[in-house]
Every structure is written in C-alpha cells, then in structure tokens.
A and B are shown apart, each in its own frame.
Chain A
C-alpha cells in the first residue's frame, strides 16, 4: 500500500507505548567493600578454588543479560514460524500486519541480501523464501512497539503453502530412492569412514561375536536463558549487535555475509550468556533484527519464547547405532564394526563436526586393532540437529558401554575387569592410528571403582583386578 505507513502508525499508537523509555533506575543497594575470598588472592593461581567475580553479580541479580537491556525507542521483534514441516512457499501477504497500529516494519526472506548461512554447509536460510524444510522455519518477521503487538501481528501474516510430504524417519531418508528431503541436495549429506587393520581377519580369529543395536532420542539444550539479540545502527552505517552467541567472530562473519556489509562495519558483543551447551553457536535472528532496525531507525530486540527454544533452535542428533564386536573367550576385543546413522534434521548446522566426532569416538576408549566405523548423516524434515554438549559422544558412549556390559555378562567376566583388559594406555594407537599421550582411562576406572567400593560379583580373576 502506498500510503505513508509511518505517519499512520505513529498517529494510531498509544502515546505511552510509543515512549518506551525505561523508568529511572531504582536505588538498589549493594555493598562495594566486600573482600574477595581468599583463594582468588593466593599465589600460585593455578589450582586455587578461586571464586568468580561474575557470580557475585549473578547472586545480586545485577548481571544484565540481553533480554534485560531496554533502550529508548527500542522495538520488539517476533518471527512468524512456518508450522508445516515441508512445503513450497507460494505467497506471503504481510499487508494486514503492516497496517496494524504499533507495527513499525516487516521483513520476509526476499529482503535478505544473501539468504543462506551455516557453520559448514550454508544450507539454512535466514528467513525461508522459497522452501520450508521444517516446522520451525521462519518465514517473516515483524518489529513493533510492544512484544504483544508484534506477537499479534505475526498472526495476521498470511502465507500460502503447497504442503509436501515430510520425511521424519532417518532410516527412510537413508534409502536413496526417497525423493530429496532437501532437494537438490542428496539426502545423505555427510559420510565418514574409519578403517584400521583387517576386520575380516579380526572376526575370523574371534571366539565370540556379539551384535547389538541402540537408538537415542532428540533432546534440547534447555538453557535457562532463551536466545536473545539486540541490533542498532549509527549514522556511519555501523551495526552493533548484542547477542547470546557463544561465537562472536563467526557471528560477525555470518552477519557480514548475509547482509552484504564489510566486517569493519559490524560490532558483535556478547554479555554473559545464560547457558549455551552448544545451542547458541550460530546466528538465529541477528540479520533479521538488523534489517528491521535499519528500516525503522530504532533498536530492535528479539528474544525467543520457551517454545521457540524447543522447535526453532538446534537440538541433539538422534543416533541409530549398530555394533558388531569380536572377542576372545578370555575377553580380549579383536575386532569391531560400527555403523552410525545420524538424524541430521532440516539443516546441516554442526552435523559435520558431530559426524566426525561420533565416528572417531564410536569405538570407545579401547585398544582395537581391527576396526571399521562408518557414519552417515541424513536430512529429515525435523528441527535442525546441531552442536549439543558432546557432539555425538553421549550417544555412542551409551551404545559402546551397554555393549561392553552385555559382552561381560555373556563371557562371565566382571564389567570392570573386562574394561581394564581392553582400555587404551599411554602410547596406544587410536582408531585413526594417532599415538595417544596423557592417557588415564585405566586410572579413572580404578579411582572410581575404589571410591564406589566396586567389588566383582563374578568369579574373581587370578591376578590383580585392582593392580
């Protein structure tokens, strides 16, 4: 519509809401002369149980997280989420939202100068403009004078979709016949293989062969602080973004790329983040709020709701893990074959790193001379799976340690003893034939067993289980 939107909305907005000036800060008392606890004043510094100065501010409630920042004239942004897992976008009609009193700007995918990003594959759009690949995909964004007006306005944005059949099962996606989940890319978007020794000889020499399959679920980081970012410009075209990003150098690079501006014009500041665990390691709304801020000339803040934390931010990869292990009758592992299938969600995010680590770690901390570990990551139309504390390690550890106990039981060897027989030591070769140093897995087993009071339940071995 050609009418002067700014004049219209300014006239219609309630004067009190327009002001949005934070009230005068209350006189909150705090002590200034509290002595620093001893440990932080001791030398040598390494090894001290030093207290954290930031934690004093946390306890006082003085730490300013991004959502605690209120600037004069600041607008609030909300993202419209697709709500469909796989679709073509036919049309986006923002006219009703734009005409709503209190709405100051609207952007869609078409407004993003370079609409793709990602830590490795740049397969994720800032806002989806042609295709939706999961239900949490953002398709439009609104900046308004209050959060409530923004939340109401995104409901008024009409998007027409041609819904497609979503692929939700990673094993289904693995079959090459499935039409591309993320066309034109292949469904399998990452592959890794490790081969060491001679797997067939290893199995041939084994007295027993054990097989098992394990699966893990999709979980979320649940940081207590939701994702939040705040953007503002100055008259020199310099953008400042405050963000909960755990990686500000990468964040700046992503913002520069998606907005098409030089890095010297971008300042990214992270305050203390209220929990990350891997989920705040790539941009989310930063380029969007930057554009909204540019359009309106006002600071724009966007904070995820708790539901958005779940359905619109990265999660942990579900894994399907198949193990086959050959052992001698007295419990020496000779060969292991592993296949991993990672549910790679709608976008790559940190899947490459997860794939690599899961594959390398999947053999466990054990001396295995004959090994094949192969891992695949596939697209599905579900929430993107990214970096989450462990990059595949918690999943494969569940598999390989469950597998160890099953074998221990079948061989009638104590689970601790079985592990001590097989663990890596100083100078061992890893699955990738790297010579390992500072190896203490045996020491950790013995130390934990001693503190726990672990006594073998099966018939004791002749010498030194606890040597």
Chain B
C-alpha cells in the first residue's frame, strides 16, 4: 500500500574557502562602440558563470548582457582565478569583474564629463547612455564616449580589479573566528509515496525556496536548483560506490551505479527568497552547491512521515526501507502481544 509523507529540511551554506585566501582577478576593456570584453580566469563548467559575469559587467557599464563578450580560462591571456569551486564565482569573481568594470566606467566618466560640462561624479550609466544625474536630457551614447576616449583623448577605457572575501582565522582550540564572508540559506520540502510492501520510494514533488542574494539571472538559478535536487535525489535513494573486501570498487560503471534519470525526478517548484547582500556584486551571493544540500534530508524526513521509520544511513534503498518497516511492524506486534 502506498503511504504519503512530507518532510522539511532547511540549511545554511558558506560562499568561498574556509578562511583561506581565494582571490579572483578580472580585466574589463571597452571597445570604441561602447561594447566591452571581460577577461576572467574562471572556467565555465556548465553552470552559466560566464553569462552571469557578463550580466554583472553590463550592469556596471549601463549596457546589455549581449554587449559584453567574455574571454575565459587561459593562463596566458586571462587573470588569475581560484576557480569554479565552493560556489564562489558569482560572489568573488563577480565582485572582481564589477570592480574592473567600475574602473573602466570611471575612465569613461572622466572623458564624458567635460563633453557634458559637468564633473565625473555627476554622471551615471544606464540604458546604453551616460546621463547627468538629475538632468537626464543631458546624455551621451556610450559608443560616442568610448570612441572619443580612444580617438581624441588617447585614453582607452580599461580596468582591472581583484577581490578576496574578508575572513578571520579560526582559533585552533575553540574554532572561533570568521571563516566566510557570507552564507546562503534554503529550505526544501519533499512529498513522497512509500510503498510499505516493497520499500520503494517515489518522490512526487519538491518545493525549494533558495536564497542567493540578488538573483543575477533567475533562469540560471532555477537550473542550478533543479540540477542540485537531482543530485540530492540520487544521494538520498540510489547512489553508492561499493567496495569488495580487497578495497576494489565493485560498480565503477553506469549500469550498476544508479543515478537519477528523467523517470526518477519529482515535480520541482522553485522560489527565490528576496534578499540582498551588500558585500556581493549588486547584492548577489551564490547558489551552486547549496541546491543539493537539503534534498536528501527532506526526502528522508518525508519517508519518516509516511511510514514512521527513521533511516539512519544513506542511500535509503527499497531494501533498507522495507527492512525498517518490517522491523517496526515486528516491534509493534511484540508490544501488542506483550500488553
């Protein structure tokens, strides 16, 4: 018989390395037509970081995402980067990219200010133009400014920046300190059906509410949450590397290492928590790893709710769940006959 259950799990997760320096550097150069290029040492590993970085640079320069071309991952041509790890790219590399773009933008403002007869700090950049704050009728197209900068003033707008999260080393005796600059928070709620005769668990629905600070690109955040949940489902119910007595892996292949297919995935509903982190680029934090942290916990709590058994080890295979249900029934029988 199928029994339905629901389970909550909430979590917190840090951005960047534990205390240790993990800097990123970036360079932004502006072309004569106002479009731009970002040089970053980060590596695109599928999460869409290059597009996120383009959006951050575009925002700083007041242009559109498609106006920013990103060159990445070449130790000869791009600045150093600690890498696509620890969910740090949006926050650390993003901050570096924004700072680099800011410097290039300030060079643009230095050139635009006399063209508009104002001081540089009276200017703002948005919608492909540089405006005088409070008097928007006075403005110039970024292309005209960039062209003037290079061709007339001889000051090609270029900026480099770097960023490293501010941390405080941990006391070796008590662990007290500030290991990370910022954290993200999330909750996932799972709804499952457990077959109490076979132990099979069917994950029907997961609702995920994730904080990432400002969502630079909500579509990519959703993609990360959905992908993270798929890893969480596998971690909860299916995946396991098995060793023989001699220490050799017994299932190093995709036939016998079970991981989620399209048939194993629940309906997923994603909400992004409204939040802003002043230490992040335009308020952003990160999202890559947090997405798979609470899934297994939510599913296991849902199993507990459905059939009243607590599984203490992952994965919660059908065999394990079934054995736990049987044990519980036997214990209940014993109690009944004893009373």
Contacts and interface: CB of A to CB of B under 8 A. Distances in A.
Asked if A and B form a direct contact in the complex, defined as CB atoms under 8 angstroms apart, the reply is yes
Interface residues of B, number: 129
Contacts of A85: 246-248
A307 B248 CA distance: 12
A275 interface: yes
B216 A40 contact: no
A275 B73 contact: no
B55 A415 contact: no
A415 B301 contact: yes
A216 B66 CA distance: 44
Given A217-B314, A217-B315, A43 B10 contact: no
B150 interface: no
Interface string B283-297: 011001110111111
Nearest to B311: A402
Contacts of A405: 7-8, 301, 304-305
A275 B274 CA distance: 29
Nearest to B221: A49
Interface in A296-320: 306-311, 315
A310 B10 contact: no
B209 A444 contact: yes
Given A267-B76, A281-B85, A390-B13, A447 B18 contact: no
A220 interface: yes
Nearest to B208: A448
Interface string B262-282: 000000010101111111001
A48 B55 contact: yes
A306 B235 contact: no
B161 interface: no
Nearest to A195: B174
B248 A437 contact: no
Find the residue from B10, B246, B282 having the highest chain A CB count within 10 A.
B10
B8 A419 contact: yes
Interface string B66-88: 10000011111000111111100
A182 B285 CA distance: 39
Interface string B204-216: 0101111101111
A250 B17 CA distance: 14
A30 interface: no
Given A53-B51, A353-B17, A393-B289, A41 B66 contact: yes
B97 interface: no
Contacts of B219: 49-51
Interface stretch (B109-117, B152-160, B181-189): B181-189
Contacts of A53: 51, 66
B323 to A, nearest CB: 15
Given A389-B289, A393-B293, A247 B217 contact: no
A212 B312 contact: yes
A81 to B, nearest CB: 10
B228 interface: yes
Find the residue from A86, A277, A440, A449 having the highest chain B CB count within 10 A.
A440
Contacts of A364: 10-12
A249 B128 contact: no
Interface string B84-98: 111000000000000
A360 interface: yes
Contact of A437 (B9, B65, B277): B277
Contacts of A356: 18-19, 170, 179
Given A436-B183, A441-B12, A452-B207, A45 B59 contact: yes
Nearest to A194: B175
Contacts of A448: 8, 187-189, 207-209, 271
A444 B210 contact: yes
A271 interface: yes
Interface string B126-163: 11100000000000000000000000000000000000
Interface in A434-458: 434, 436-441, 443-445, 447-449, 451-452, 454
A219 B44 CA distance: 23
Contacts of A449: 8, 187, 189
B253 interface: yes
Contacts of B215: 47
Contacts of A213: 312
Contacts of B273: 440, 443-444, 447
Contacts of A270: 43, 72-74
A95 to B, nearest CB: 27
A117 B155 CA distance: 44
A36 interface: yes
Contact of A214 (B59, B187, B313): B313
B193 interface: no
A445 B313 contact: no
Contacts of B289: 389-391, 393
B176 A196 contact: yes
B8 A415 contact: yes
A361 B13 contact: yes
Contacts of A222: 254, 257, 259
A216 B210 contact: no
Interface string B14-54: 10011100000000000000000000010111101011001
Interface in A78-105: 83-86
Nearest to B269: A451
A433 interface: yes
A402 B66 contact: no
A214 B80 CA distance: 40
Contacts of B326: none
Interface in A276-330: 276-278, 280-281, 306-311, 315
B4 to A, nearest CB: 12
A268 B75 CA distance: 5
A389 B127 CA distance: 37
A275 B58 CA distance: 26
Nearest to A215: B313
A219 B240 contact: yes
B80 A249 contact: yes
B56 interface: yes
B44 A273 contact: yes
A434 B253 CA distance: 44
A134 interface: yes
A381 interface: yes
A357 B284 CA distance: 21
B126 A44 contact: yes
B300 interface: yes
8 contacts: A45-B54, A135-B249, A215-B312, A273-B46, A393-B290, A394-B235, A433-B176, A441-B12
Given A166-B247, A306-B253, A449-B8, 14 more contacts: A51-B51, A52-B220, A84-B247, A222-B257, A268-B74, A310-B252, A359-B175, A364-B10, A365-B11, A389-B289, A402-B301, A409-B304, A437-B277, A438-B276
Interface of A: 36, 39-55, 83-86, 134-136, 166, 168, 192-196, 212-220, 222, 245-250, 252, 263, 266-278, 280-281, 306-311, 315, 353, 356-357, 359-361, 364-365, 373, 381-383, 387, 389-391, 393-394, 397-398, 400-402, 405-406, 409, 415-416, 419, 423-424, 430-434, 436-441, 443-445, 447-449, 451-452, 454
Of all A-B residue pairs in the complex, the 5 with the closest CB atoms, nearest first, are: A85-B247, A247-B83, A194-B175, A310-B252, A401-B297
